[in-house]
A = this chain, B = another copy of it.
């Protein structure tokens, strides 16, 4: 007998709108403008594929943390996180070699610092976007 876990499908649609720009849509969600960034001869002030990639890692670690924190009964008041992706030219190709993720959690009790740190690392290891990428993810947690 084979036990198969559930699988899920995520569909996004993209419509080119001229120059180096387009509109991304996901059914039932607000649309997001995307464009080539200025450093690759594109546009200012619009989300780029690079931003979306770094944002997917950053937000996946947060949502995974929220699930584990909930389960562990961790009390916290604030959560914020900055993620910085490094795009480098390696063996003739551009790729993200590293993303440093800096979550800052404001805990209800300072005594929970060790527990919170453990949950953050567990979230990074189990985040489904982390699992899907070649990029090294470095977690640098802080507690407010």
List residues of A whose CB falls within 8 A of some B CB: 5-16, 20, 22, 24, 26, 28-30, 32-36, 39-42, 44-60, 62-63, 66-67, 78-89, 93-96, 126-129, 131-135
Contacts and interface: CB of A to CB of B under 8 A. Distances in A.
Given A47-B26, A51-B29, A36 B66 contact: yes
- What does DSSP make chain A's interface, helix, strand, loop or mixed? mixed
A24 B87 contact: no
Contacts of A54: 10-12
Contacts of A52: 52-53, 55-56, 59
- This chain: how many copies in the complex? 2
Given A8-B87, A53-B53, 14 more contacts: A7-B86, A11-B54, A13-B58, A14-B55, A20-B63, A24-B59, A28-B45, A29-B51, A32-B47, A35-B63, A40-B63, A96-B129, A131-B134, A134-B134
Contact of A126 (B12, B83, B93): B93
